[in-house]
């Protein structure tokens, strides 16, 4: 290896990739690490009990590929969930910094260089990451903000793909292996932030992660259990919630107000353009929520678009009458 290549390899960081039946997507993840401006010293792939022959063949191909410029280790375990797979990989690592990457995602060439720079410059930073580009069914830029423990009590503020301090991972107990329905990364970030005084998580304000989106992804599926998972997190991190209750509630309210404002603007825009409102929007205007700013939003909408709202109400009454009439006819 020449001097130039030696400079491109960081001796203080290894990468852990978790995989489960991900076919050739794992190749894209490995390839993205091989294109880094600063290479990790090793790639540890943890296969969480894949059953798909094609996926297993791909892993064997990676193991035998001597053209990969980074040493690769493949660990295969019985299916135990992503938390266990990540812990297995991190436990195998030997460097103070570890990059955690899901097997269906990718990182931009400067990800390791820029994120490690944040960590090197901020000793109290327990982990760091960046903004994300989503691809697949959604094409957008996601901008998490990072922060201290009070910021993370209201919502997760860091992508699952991140670089952590291995020492803090060990002290915090690692990922909770009982969590197999989602939010395990959010829980883990809270655990790390609670481990070190004045700890925070940093974010590079640039989309350096390519995050794959799909209707059946674990992230989308976990939303159906959001309240159940949040209850688990609140109970587990109860001391932090008690210590920062004001910040947590106000942050949640800020998020709620922002979403309500967005919906209000969308309804106003639809009415202004004389387009058809969704049934959910019609129902909201007809019977707005109370105590959360919903009624005030409905009043503002009605004040600015009074004639259109009146027409909607008239049509709604006519529709109700037709429905009643139809029911009488059926009877």
Q: DSSP string spanning 183-200? A: -HHHHHHHHHHHHSTT-E
- C-beta neighbour count of 74 within 10 angstroms: 16
Reduce the DSSP state of residue 243 to 3 states and report it. helix
Alpha carbons 39 and 69: distance in angstroms, whole number: 9
Residue 248: its H or E element: helix 245-272
Maximum Cα–Cα distance across the chain: 88
Domain limits, CATH 3.90.550.10, in the chain = 3-237
45, 74, 162, 216, 323 from 92: Cα distances, Å: 10, 11, 17, 30, 66
Q: Which residues contact 190 (CB under 8 A, 6 or more apart)?
A: 149, 152, 153, 233, 237, 240
pLDDT for position 329? 44
CA 94 from chain centre, in angstroms, equals 27
Q: Which residues of the chain have pLDDT under 50?
A: 1-4, 7, 324, 327-331
Rg (CA), the chain: 25
CA distance 196 to 199: 5
The predicted-structure confidence for 100-151, as pLDDT tens digits, reads as follows 999 999 999 999 999 999 999 999 999 999 999 999 999 999 999 999 999 9
With 0-12 CB in 10 A as exposed, 13-18 as middle and 19+ as buried, what is 114? middle
- Which tokens go with 180? 């197999």
Distance CA 44, CA 92 (A): 8
Give me the pLDDT at residue 280, please.
Answer: 87
Express each pLDDT in 152-198 by its tens digit: 999 999 999 999 999 999 999 999 999 999 999 999 999 999 999 89
3-237 folds as Spore Coat Polysaccharide Biosynthesis Protein SpsA; Chain A (3.90.550)
Instruction: Tell me which residue of 266, 267, 247, 265 sits closest to 255, measured CA to CA.
Output: 247
Query: Residues 38, 14: contact at Cβ < 8 Å?
Result: no
Contacts of 328 (CB under 8 A, 6+ apart): none
Listing DSSP states for 60-121 in one string gives HHHHH-TT-SS-EEEEEE----HHHHHHHHHHH--SSEEEEEETT-EE-TTHHHHHHHHHHH
Report in angstroms the alpha-carbon separations of 157 from 119, 199, 315.
Answer: 17, 14, 44
C-alpha separations of 117 from 83, 112, 144, 243 in Å: 26, 8, 18, 31
What is the rounded CA–CA span in Å between residue 283 and residue 288? 8
């Amino acid at each position: 290896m020449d001097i130039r290549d030696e400079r491109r390899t960081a001796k203080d960081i290894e990468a852990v990739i978790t995989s489960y039946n991900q076919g050739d997507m794992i190749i894209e993840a490995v390839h993205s690490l091989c294109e880094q401006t600063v290479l990790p010293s090793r790639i540890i792939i943890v296969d969480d009990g894949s059953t798909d022959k094609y996926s297993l063949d791909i892993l064997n191909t990676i193991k035998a590929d001597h053209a990969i410029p980074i040493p690769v280790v493949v660990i295969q375990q019985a299916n135990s969930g992503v938390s266990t797979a990540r812990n297995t990989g991190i436990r195998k690592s030997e460097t103070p910094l570890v990059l955690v990457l899901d097997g269906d995602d990718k990182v931009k060439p400067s990800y390791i260089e820029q994120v490690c720079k944040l960590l090197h410059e901020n000793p109290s930073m327990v982990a760091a990451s960046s903004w994300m580009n989503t691809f697949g069914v959604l094409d957008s830029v996601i901008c998490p903000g990072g922060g201290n423990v009070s910021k993370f009590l209201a919502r997760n503020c860091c992508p699952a793909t991140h670089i952590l301090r291995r020492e803090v991972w060990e002290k915090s107990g690692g990922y909770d292996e009982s969590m197999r329905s989602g939010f395990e990364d959010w829980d883990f970030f809270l655990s790390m932030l609670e481990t070190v005084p004045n700890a925070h998580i940093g974010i590079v304000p640039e989309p350096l992660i390519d995050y794959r989106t799909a209707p059946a992804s674990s992230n989308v599926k976990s939303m159906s259990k959001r309240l159940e998972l949040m209850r688990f997190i609140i109970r587990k991190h109860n001391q932090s919630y008690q210590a920062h209750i004001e910040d947590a509630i106000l942050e949640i309210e800020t998020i709620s107000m922002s979403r309500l404002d967005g919906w209000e603007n969308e309804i106003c825009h639809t009415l202004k353009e004389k387009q058809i409102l969704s049934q959910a929007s019609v129902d909201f205007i007809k019977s707005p929520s109370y105590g959360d700013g919903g009624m005030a939003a409905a009043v503002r909408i009605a004040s600015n678009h009074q004639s259109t709202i009146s027409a909607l109400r008239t049509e709604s009454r006519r529709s109700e009458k037709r429905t009643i009439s139809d029911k009488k006819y059926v009877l």
